[in-house]
Structure 1
Amino acid sequence: MTTEVPRTDGALARLARFCHRRRRLVLPAWIVGVVAVAVAGFGFSATPDNAMSGGGSGSAKAQAVIEKHFPERQGDTLTLAIKADEGIDAPAARSRIEKVLAALDASPVTGPVTSPYQDASLVTKDRRIARTIVPLTVEDVKKADVKVLVDTVEQASGDGVSLGLGGQQAEKAETPKQGPGDSVGVLAAAVILFIAFGSLVAMGLPLATALLAILGGIALTKLSGHLVPAPDFTVIFAALIGLGVGIDYALFIVTRYKDGLQAGGDPESATVEAVATAGRAVLFAGTTVVIAMLGLITMGQRLMTGVAIGASVTVVVTMIAAVTLLPALLGFTGYTINSVRLPRRVSRRHGSADGPAPARRTPAERWAGAVQRRPLLAAVLAGAGLLLLAAPALSMRLSLPDASVQPHDRSSYTSYKILSEGFGPGYGAPLIFATEAGSRQGLGPVVQAVADTDGIASVTPPQTSGDGQAATFTAFPETGFQDEATTDLVHHLRDDVLPKTNVGGDVFIGGPNAAAVDYSQQTASRLPLMITVVIALSLVLLVALVRSVTIALQAAVMNLLSIGAAYGVLVAIVQWGWLGSALGFTTAMPITTWVPLTMFPVLFGLSMDYEVFLISRVREEYERTGDTRAAVTRGLARTAKIITAAAAIMISVFTTSLLGPDVSIKQVGLGMAVAVLIDATVVRMLLVPAVMELCGRANWWMPGGRARKTARADLAEVVELGKAKV
């Protein structure tokens, strides 16, 4: 057996040697740089852009008409919902309600508030429930200012009077920060690292590297919003991804460093070797994630482009930190990497008179042997199991969250419940019709046709703009924002009802519900393109690395199966409500439209990371022995521990999102945690060895004679990458 010597004269090796020797310069430079970027990023961050619609959609055209001809309708509004058990006219109830109305009207961020006592249309017939609109006069109103209004309304509730303040700004104001989720994720990762390394010092290095990198990455993400506007969830999403990959990347390099010391190297040579091998794997893995994330740009949506850029920036910073900051930290650590050790049980093996006892096979080797004895059965069972888990994804519905899916102790949910009871569930899903083709009188046939449509509860009289060039009216469905019937109603109005009227072709349907429908439809139509681009680019990278078309295709198919299974589990929990309440989802709801989009590229990139880790080790053993079965067994045995630790860190980080308040972020975290769990167990430990056993020598097929010509020449490179994370 020959041992390949890792390259120590390449660019990465020189970089590692420089950072190790100049650690007293590199570490302060990182700290000062991150602090400076953090001050700029958090002090001058870009305003989030949460616009879901755009382009040529019907809702976007309706919004353009309203913005152009109805300037008085610009700006956010809040809705005050009132319910009095004994009626709003009871003296005690009226006194309390009028105090709240006065307080809302007197706020410096609100406009005139119309009292329901002055407008009978704002009160139900039994006069138990009322509503009124609270206009916000400040363009970029602060959450703190709106929170004061929310608190005022909540404090006035009680003694038979229920008050709730709804609207997008109210939901934002009363939504708490992400909470202890990130801290819990870091703590869980620390425990896993301590168990894996058995040393507090070794545990601290990946955490310190990842946290410093994430701080800088998030600050740059906030600044990048000035160039590419991004929604407000981008920072949370970037932190979630950055924390997971940042710790994992540092884990791989520290593991390789420890191996270098154990093999007799000094700290500098071990650092150089670790970065020259594991660092290359980190750069490949991170580049795959970044390329996959940038695939979101193909969606043609500003929102997704902002998410792609913001998350990619954070991943890039974690990559740079792994190959520059970490070598400096290793220079300070030196031989103390194994200090403060976890007590471990030492297994002693005694030989006999005939010689030393044979080495025991590891559990991973025994497992691989069992799979290889029945590869077809294992492949069929694993594939069938993944398809079964993926089946619910066929019924996936996409929408955007509204007040109806918020925790029941929030004022916005109270407002939703009161308004649904008094004015119907469709009050929170208004359909706003706008046109430049007709006047108030000319819209009569359109209004009547809409009012006569099944599923419409009520229609407001049309209004003409001040310049007389446009008109608008509002229709309220009988069903709520999240109901599938409401989505079907929007399509029916556009496809069947409006075209039959004289000006129907020039009447556009807008409003938050129609915008959500358009966004979901646009997403569904462009999703195949994004998936194709991500898979194609990832396959090119993987073929170039492992020199095998067969393995690259296997990886693509298996990644799709694991992601499909994660989608299916997400639908069963969130949309069908299975165990949803136990995981923090207050009610069954559609999947947030952008969640599957962001999950796919991230998970595909992470799955490729595990694939490279495992397959490169298998390739090394195959080149040494020429035996695919033995190569798979040994490759699995040598990578199982680190794959398990890396996956456990990812899962712990992702699942902590369930502790936060944002239902969409919860969906992302849950889906990615399930996908990583499936990928690290069913796929890597069962499906991969089974399929490779079935394919045999065909695993290493490349067109023409390229594979045979380059196999030996590339062996050193593959061996280095295969050892990168062990």
Structure 2
Amino acid sequence: MTAGTSPAGGALAELGRFCFRRRRLVLLAWIVGVIAVAFAGFGYGADPDNDFSGGDSQSARAQQLMEQHFPEEQGDRLTLAIKAEQGIDDPAAKQRIEKVIAELADSPVTGPVMSPYQDKSLVTKDRRIARTTIPLAAKEVEKSEVKPLVDTVKAASDAGVTLALGGYMAEKAETPPQGPAESIGILAAAVILFVAFGSLVAMGLPIVTALLAIVGGLALMKLVGHLVPAPNFALTFGAMIGLGVGIDYALFIVTRYKDGLGEGDDPENATVKAIATAGHAVLFAGTTVVIALMGLFVMGQRLMTGLAVATSITVLVTMLAALTLLPAFLGFTGHRINSLRLPRRASRRNRAVSAPSQERRTLAERWAGVVQRRPLIAALLAGGSLLVLAVPTLSMRLSQPDASVQPRDRSSYVSYEILSEGFGPGYGAPLVFVSEVDSANPGNSTTRDLGPVVEAVGKTEGIAQATPARVSEDGKAVTFVAFPTTGYQDEATTDLVHKLRGEVLPGTPGGEHVLVGGPNAGTIDVADEVGSRLPLMIVVVIAMSMVLLIALVRSVTIALQAAVMNLLSIGAAYGVVVAVVQWGWLGSALGFPAPMPVTTWAPMMMFPILFGLSMDYQVFLISRVREEYERTGDTREAVARGLARTAKVITAAAAIMIAVFTTSLLGPDVAVKQGGLGMAVAVLIDATIVRMIFVPAVMELCGKANWWMPGRRRAPETTSTAPTDAREEAATV
């Protein structure tokens, strides 16, 4: 594009021009708006909701009955685990144990505590291991109130007596905050941007834009939580994704702006052109991510819906910032975008400008030529590699993290270890059986006397013990508890629950009225529901994203290519997560204390995010390929030049995403680590195997069929849906 050429009109072009010219007003509006939203959101936002037991599963109905008829047994409880080498009756050990129990009982946040010296059922036969349950007095107790109890118990341990506090709240109280992970991600992004742009000013614009947008987005997430509750990890995921896409979107626009300046545009025209071209791709890319996230609605999980809404808000705010706040920043920087440069880059550019045009083929363009000379071999190698990486996905198991997969120095893990040794691994995975008395015939013995059911359950292989049945105070429900011989994460426990529901209870008099619940059964039900609904979500996300991509590139072929390639890359990422997390390959090196099933919500959340992000890169690449094709009419040259024009920026964008997602491995939450690992691997695969090999190979094989669209008999000419100013740019090169 020659100097002085004005970018064509259009809504995005006018938006960019307005934000550039009224930059002070736009910047002031953003600052005031973010401060106001942050004050409201972080001060009065909704608390997180981590209840995954919603829906109509058997465990959810069992929980409703327990809350209705056994309210005194509801609420959080802690478990004190005790192991004394000389036995708990040793005078020194007894003195220490009783002192700790007294301190726990005197806490304002606990209820009455039963001493194991008063109930022999709380002590093993050899009197070396004991336990007691500590009810929390209030229904809502902060983890900061529980942390002193954990510290008290840990401090009381010595070489002869080990004491540990377990339970959900103890585990939560011990989990440290996410820490500096996001800060490290920002630092890594800054380094990558500085290397890519060679300028401190150009480096700072995407980061400042993204950070301002993230603050506003996270605050809005907290406010929307009053309408659509989201789990506590929504903020962590929102920050990770917002930081990644926010910097990436700004990166694409700043790159296009710098290209415009280099071609002779003044700052205003360069800004307008950048918003009308790269901004056009950002708009479609951000919309694709949001649409993909909306696919979580089909999972039927209330908290997954909340997570989708919350994360979408962050993506929308970062996209809006890239299209409005960034043009205002560009208005302030103007030609100073290249200030504070790396000295050696200038000399490189000067040598490149003076070199003959035939010698200026970039490494990416030459690589595309290599792939295009052997497209079938390249496609088979790329596709085969992705399929091999995806193989472990076939053995994926879903569950929720419990104490057994926590770091070994945590009190919750020590408690689990002691209780498993003394009372069996199934002590931490109790199954709660509950039946409602027939209101029409309350004297019906089959609904009140669960003796035969308790006996049948107790004799079932895999059950260590079943407690006697108890009738509720209102006389309307009966319950008992059974402990498996296997632990919370064991596949045998899942099989046991299915056997009890499918065979044992239906075949026992009165058993057909009994529901199997409890935290363990709830986790199994959610995993089963996720496994059954996940294929539907995948189909919905792919279909919606394809429709959007077809609207952008006007090609069914390219949309199908994108869907298949993205599906393969995500499958490969799933496979790597299973190999690391579930099989234990390099697990300890990456911060996973022990092999464990994949967290139930991780694959649900990973798929729409990764599919949307993969579509981002597809949009940016194909948009440039489309421009080159319209200019030359040669698919091979268009792919090579499109890849060359986008390789550097897509590589930088992918490196930023990988850096941001990888920093999750530095945090304490094993579930968030799984999601971060999977997304980092997927982006790495997408930016290398897919974009550098698969895309040029498949597009070379398809030739002019790349541009097939029903009702159109030939490849597109210069009229297209691409931004008009992009065609003018191509025409004047």
Say whether the 8 Å CA contact 2:555–2:706 is kept in structure 1. Answer: yes
For structure 1, the 5+ residue unaligned runs are none
Instruction: Give how far 1:53 is off.
Output: 1.7
Instruction: Give how far 1:711 is off.
Output: 5.7
Instruction: Give how far 1:439 is off.
Output: 7.2
Instruction: Give how far 1:224 is off.
Output: 1.1
For 2:516, which of 509, 520, 541 is the aligned residue? 509
Letter in 2 for 1:445: P
After superposition, give the CA deviation of every residue in 1:599-645 in whole Å (9 maximum; x if it has no partner): 00001011111111111211222222222111111111111111100
Distance 2:352 2:399 in 1: 64
- What residue number does 2:130 align with? 130
Distance 1:307 1:598 in 2: 8
Distance 1:183 1:71 in 2: 44
- What residue number does 1:486 align with? 493
- What residue number does 2:383 align with? 383
Instruction: Give how far 1:717 is off.
Output: 4.5
Say whether the 8 Å CA contact 1:546–1:718 is kept in structure 2. Answer: no
Instruction: Give how far 1:14 is off.
Output: 2.2
Distance 1:118 1:547 in 2: 77
Q: Secondary structure at the match of 1:344?
A: helix
Distance 1:715 1:46 in 2: 42
Instruction: Give how far 1:714 is off.
Output: 3.3
- What residue number does 1:399 align with? 399
- Cα 1:420–1:722, aligned 2, differ >3 Å: closer, same or farther? farther
Instruction: Give how far 1:580 is off.
Output: 0.4
Q: Secondary structure at the match of 2:581?
A: helix
Say whether the 8 Å CA contact 2:630–2:717 is kept in structure 1. Answer: no
- What residue number does 1:274 align with? 274
Q: Secondary structure at the match of 1:500?
A: coil
Q: Which deviates more, 233-242 or 261-270?
A: 261-270
Distance 1:167 1:331 in 2: 55
Is the aligned partner of 1:697 residue 2:697? no
Letter in 2 for 1:344: R
- Cα 1:349–1:145, aligned 2, differ >3 Å: closer, same or farther? closer
Letter in 2 for 1:689: P
- What residue number does 2:441 align with? none
- What residue number does 1:118 align with? 118
- What residue number does 2:530 align with? 523
Distance 1:535 1:395 in 2: 23
Letter in 2 for 1:69: H
Say whether the 8 Å CA contact 2:186–2:660 is kept in structure 1. Answer: yes
1:619-658 mapped onto 2 (5 Å cutoff): 619-658=626-665
- What residue number does 1:611 align with? 618
Distance 2:728 2:324 in 1: 18
Q: Which deviates more, 493-502 or 431-440?
A: 431-440
Q: Secondary structure at the match of 1:25?
A: helix
After superposition, give the CA deviation of every residue in 1:663-689 in whole Å (9 maximum; x if it has no partner): 000000000000000001000100111
Say whether the 8 Å CA contact 1:440–1:464 is kept in structure 2. Answer: no
Instruction: Give how far 1:706 is off.
Output: 7.1
Instruction: Give how far 1:42 is off.
Output: 1.2
- What residue number does 1:246 align with? 246
Distance 2:529 2:671 in 1: 19
Is the aligned partner of 1:560 residue 2:567? yes
For 1:670, which of 673, 677, 682 is the aligned residue? 677
- What residue number does 1:366 align with? 366
For structure 2, the 5+ residue unaligned runs are 438-444
Q: Secondary structure at the match of 1:130?
A: strand
After superposition, give the CA deviation of every residue in 1:237-275 in whole Å (9 maximum; x if it has no partner): 111110100000111111111122222222222222222
- Cα 1:569–1:90, aligned 2, differ >3 Å: closer, same or farther? same
- Matched residue count: 721
Distance 2:73 2:170 in 1: 18
- What residue number does 1:301 align with? 301
Letter in 1 for 2:41: G
Letter in 2 for 1:560: L
- What residue number does 2:162 align with? 162
After superposition, give the CA deviation of every residue in 1:477-505 in whole Å (9 maximum; x if it has no partner): 00000000000000010001000011111
After superposition, give the CA deviation of every residue in 1:413-435 in whole Å (9 maximum; x if it has no partner): 11101100110000000000000
Distance 2:728 2:209 in 1: 22
Instruction: Give how far 1:351 is off.
Output: 12
TM-score by length of 1: 0.96
Letter in 1 for 2:99: K
- What residue number does 2:587 align with? 580
Instruction: Give how far 1:73 is off.
Output: 1.0
Q: Secondary structure at the match of 2:506?
A: helix
Instruction: Give how far 1:356 is off.
Output: 5.2
After superposition, give the CA deviation of every residue in 1:548-584 in whole Å (9 maximum; x if it has no partner): 1111101100000000000001100000000000000
Letter in 2 for 1:401: P
- Cα 1:364–1:181, aligned 2, differ >3 Å: closer, same or farther? same
Say whether the 8 Å CA contact 1:614–1:722 is kept in structure 2. Answer: no
Q: Secondary structure at the match of 1:471?
A: strand
Instruction: Give how far 1:333 is off.
Output: 1.5
1:160-309 mapped onto 2 (5 Å cutoff): 160-309=160-309
- Cα 1:721–1:371, aligned 2, differ >3 Å: closer, same or farther? farther
Instruction: Give how far 1:376 is off.
Output: 0.7
Say whether the 8 Å CA contact 2:654–2:687 is kept in structure 1. Answer: yes
Distance 2:152 2:727 in 1: 64
Distance 1:3 1:536 in 2: 42
Say whether the 8 Å CA contact 1:22–1:328 is kept in structure 2. Answer: yes
- What residue number does 2:315 align with? 315
RMSD (Å), alpha carbons: 2.1
Distance 2:724 2:677 in 1: 36
Instruction: Give how far 1:316 is off.
Output: 0.6
Distance 1:208 1:193 in 2: 12
Letter in 2 for 1:309: V
For 2:607, which of 600, 608, 616 is the aligned residue? 600
Distance 2:472 2:377 in 1: 70
Distance 2:246 2:231 in 1: 23
Q: Which deviates more, 183-192 or 499-508?
A: 499-508
Distance 2:660 2:728 in 1: 26
Say whether the 8 Å CA contact 2:8–2:725 is kept in structure 1. Answer: no
